[in-house]
Amino acid sequence: MEEKAITAEQMRHYDSFTINTIGVPSLVLMERAALAVRDEILNAYPLNLGHVVVVAGSGNNGGDGLDVARLLHIAGVKVTILNVGNPDHASEEHRVQDHICQYYQIPQTTDLAILDQATLVVDALFGIGIDRVVKGDYAAAIDAINASDAVVIAVDMPSGINTDTGEVMGTAVKADVTVTFAFNKVGLTTDAGKEYAGRVAIADDMGTYAVDD
């Protein structure tokens, strides 16, 4: 049977149905997403994690990244958060995750030079919310991730890849592994998407349900 792959709009519909109709809180979905990324990292790189740098945008993909940062920190891993974008635009869930990370005193920076110290990068800049060409600080962060020697784990989508077409939106993260949530995404099944995603791991125990109404 061919694996189901969906668009950004379908994923938003499923998330919205799960949150608003079934009643699973958004932060519960985020926690399950982050747990899946944490498990992928701890299972694939159990002995030599070194210094993990989580590159976080200000939306919910960044919120996932902050959640992963906290879970790795609790597991005893050295973690630094690299914030990119305007904190005034942070999503509600991102603000909650940021508050928790501050409680745990996880180091945070906006200086791309931290990537020189990274042995593993968690790419949490953009997920299915990407809707335009990447420029400025975001493009600089993506290029810096690609210039580093670190292993790169992308959260949901490699940042810069169009969820529906796999097109590179100006520039995009080249990942070793992409952990995508609930279902595969159409963009990850195209030649360009596959090249940037690396190995695609589908975290399907998300509590997100495909209800076609």
Residue 159 interaction partner, one of ligand NAX, K ion, none, beta carbon < 5-8 Å per kind: K ion
Query: Given the complex with ligand NAX, which of 106 and 188 has the nearer CB atom?
Result: 188
Sheet of 51-56: strands edge to edge? 108-109, 78-83, 51-56, 120-124, 151-155, 177-181, 199-203
Q: What is the contact mask toward K ion in residues 154 to 173, using x (rule: CB under 5 A)?
A: xx---x--------------
Our finding on whether 60 is near ligand NAX (CB under 6 A) is yes
175: tokens are 């990942």
Distance of CA 155 to the CA centre of its chain: 2
Minimum Å distance from CB 204 to K ion?
A: 18
Q: How far is residue 19's CA from residue 31's CA, in Å, rounded to a whole number?
A: 13
Minimum Å distance from CB 59 to ligand NAX?
A: 2
**What single letter denotes the amino acid at residue 91?**
S
26: tokens are 């958004």
Query: Given the complex with ligand NAX, which of 19 and 78 has the nearer CB atom?
Result: 19
Question: Where does 59-212 show beta strands of DSSP type E?
Answer: 78-83, 108-109, 120-124, 151-155, 177-181, 184-185, 199-203
Residue 30 interaction partner, one of K ion, ligand NAX, none, beta carbon < 5-8 Å per kind: ligand NAX
Q: Are 200 and 163 in contact, with CB atoms under 8 Å apart?
A: no
Residues in the interface with ligand NAX (CB under 6 A) total 26
Query: Given the complex with ligand NAX, which of 50 and 192 has the nearer CB atom?
Result: 192
Our finding on whether 67 is near K ion (CB under 5 A) is no
Query: Given the complex with K ion, which of 26 and 61 has the nearer CB atom?
Result: 61
Q: What is the contact mask toward K ion in residues 137 to 156, using x (rule: CB under 5 A)?
A: -----------------xx-
* Nearest alpha carbon to residue 37 among 81, 85, 62, 72: 72
Our finding on whether 181 is near ligand NAX (CB under 6 A) is yes
**What single letter denotes the amino acid at residue 194?**
K
Q: How far is residue 67's CA from residue 35's CA, in Å, rounded to a whole number?
A: 8
Query: Given the complex with ligand NAX, which of 62 and 120 has the nearer CB atom?
Result: 62
Q: Which residues contact K ion (rule: CB under 5 A)?
A: 123, 154-155, 159
Q: Which residues contact ligand NAX (rule: CB under 6 A)?
A: 15, 19, 26, 29-30, 33, 57, 59-62, 64, 91, 126-134, 138, 155-156, 181
